[in-house]
Copies of this chain bind each other. A is one copy, B any other.
Amino acid sequence: MNTAVTDTQSLIETSTFLRACRREPVDHTPIWLMRQAGRYMPEYRAIRAKHSMLEVIRTPELAAEITLQPINAFGMDAAIIFSDILPPLVGMGLNLEFVKGEGPVIYNPIRTVADIEALQTPPAEENMGFTLEAIRLVAAELTPRGVPLIGFAGAPFTLASYAIEGGGSKNYEKTKALMYQYPDAWDMLMRKLATVQADYLLNQAKAGASALQLFDSWAGLALGMQDYVRYIQPYNTLLFAELEKAKVPTINFSTGTALYLDEVAACGGSVIGVDWRIPLDLAWEKVGFNQAVQGNLDPTVLLTDWETVKTKVDDVLRRVNGRSGHIFNLGHGIFPNVPTDTVKRLVAYVQEQTSR
């Protein structure tokens, strides 16, 4: 679906995805899927059968290979570098492991102000060099093919919640208790995380990422509107301001924030990632039409039959109503049990249906 190009400048000008980020007219609505390089693909599972999660992330050749798998199989309009949001915490001093069947575990979670003071802020080249190298490898492969690569990082709040809870969480009790009771310690923690993540994202752009997505995956599940404005917004705003130096489109993704998407959008981002809990037309209205939107098919829809998928995709497209600046995506990451055939049909369907 992409015109063959040979250099970065041509990529920037012609990529459907990058044009949509800038709200320029496109020949079809670009599509990519959060977690498109992942467990639903047999090619991915074959690699993971031989290597742990951290091994794969830390081996640029493997991370690059996984990044390319969905592009080669399904022809999405953008790739996203294979990594995870948590590895940057390791160089800050946190002892992270991905435990099979349990997900990420941090063995020395943050519990005190002293723990926060002790957190390091190492430069990205030292802390996340393997991902930066993977980006270089993928960009060298994809730029000539006219496919842009998205770099990403976790937002300060989502990282803080993992660091404080010691892993995934249902109620974010420890995180919020610290935040409510020790606002100065919270401020220090969020600034350190914003510093590390801004540097990491800027270096991803330097390594060849054509766009940068910030994942604030737990923001709205953990915090209500007032708390978002007080405890997240200042730091995400700071971060997006820093990212302007990269001169690439930025995507501001969060979930559970439908009620206050205007406050989310106010933090920054060329594109606002919209989860599946709000109709896309209402979401865009709340965001304002001077920012692009990305989303928002409910990921559970991909577990149903093709007729049902089509109806739901049509509904998303109908709500966009041809306006420039829409990137098709799911409203959250794709599930591991989605049939690859459904993904294949979805990508082709969106590209064909919106072809103009």
Contact = CB atoms under 8 A, between A and B. Distances in A.
Given A277-B220, A278-B224, A303-B173, A180 B308 contact: yes
A279 B228 CA distance: 12
A224 B296 CA distance: 11
Interface residues of A, number: 35
A170 to B, nearest CB: 9
Interface in A258-275: 258-259
A301 B171 CA distance: 12
Contact of A277 (B181, B224, B300): B224
A321 interface: no
A335 interface: yes
A298 interface: yes
A275 to B, nearest CB: 8
Interface string A291-308: 000000011110111001
A301 B178 CA distance: 10
Contacts of A173: 300, 303, 335, 337
Interface of A is mostly: helix
B176 A298 contact: yes
Given A226-B279, A278-B225, A335-B173, A181 B304 contact: yes
A256 interface: yes
Contacts of A277: 220, 223-225, 256, 259
A312 interface: yes
14 contacts: A176-B298, A180-B301, A181-B305, A181-B308, A220-B277, A224-B276, A224-B277, A224-B278, A225-B279, A225-B282, A227-B298, A256-B256, A258-B258, A258-B259
